[in-house]
Amino acid sequence: MEKIAALESLLFVTGDEGISLEELASLLNITSLKAHKLVASLRQRYDSDNSSGLTIIEARNRYQMATKRQYSEIIRKYAVSPFMSQLSQAALETLAIVAYRQPVTRIDIDDIRGVQSSSLLQRLMLRGLVKELGRAETPGRPILYGTSDYFMNYFGLKDINELPDAEALFDLQESDIFDLFMQEEVTKNEEQ
């Protein structure tokens, strides 16, 4: 069995969930180090092939097949982003609070915003941007919210610590937020 083709197949079928190095190593019957080298090799092949629109990304220690950034406009036209086109200012505020304060309860979000946020949280969950992380160990055991893997993938983040500085966001318009996240990713890639 050709390992690189098997890796490519696994990345394709795992979709948004992605696959960890440990899972790859086990399925391909190789070491984690070899699995890492295999992923790096396939990523390099995709990235250097101008006739391919694919790349491999890492989010939360899981690898996924994704499209290259230069095709983001055509992808955006195909799948109009719910984040950029359909979220209200209130929903964007709520999403920012969740992203920067996670894990966070609805009551904490309500306190920060000064208004009730349960319907906004439901809409963000329906769009796959926010998810339940568990329950707080406080009276009533309220639900804890955090960002989803879709949120991480959308902004090309491997870890939530890669979010841009919150202070920088105050000076931006809604349409500039996506560009800020993408610039952070380009800068990180250039440093590597």
What is the C-alpha separation between 66 and 58, in angstroms, rounded? 10
Are the C-beta atoms of 56 and 25 separated by less than 8 Å?
no
CATH entry 1.10.3720.10 includes domain 89-191: no
Tell me the pLDDT of the chain averaged across its residues: 82
Looking at residue 19, what is its pLDDT?
Answer: 92
Q: Report how far apart, in Å, the C-alpha atoms of 6 and of each of 27, 33, 45 are.
A: 9, 16, 15
Looking at residue 181, what is its pLDDT?
Answer: 52
Q: What share of the chain is helix, strand, coil (3-state, %, to 5)?
A: 60, 15, 25
Looking at residue 192, what is its pLDDT?
Answer: 46
**What one-letter code names the amino acid at 45?**
R
What is the C-alpha separation between 38 and 16, in angstroms, rounded? 20
pTM summary value: 0.49
Looking at residue 184, what is its pLDDT?
Answer: 47
Every domain of the chain with CATH number 1.10.10.10 lies at 3-73, 89-191
Specify the CATH number of the domain 3-73. Answer: 1.10.10.10
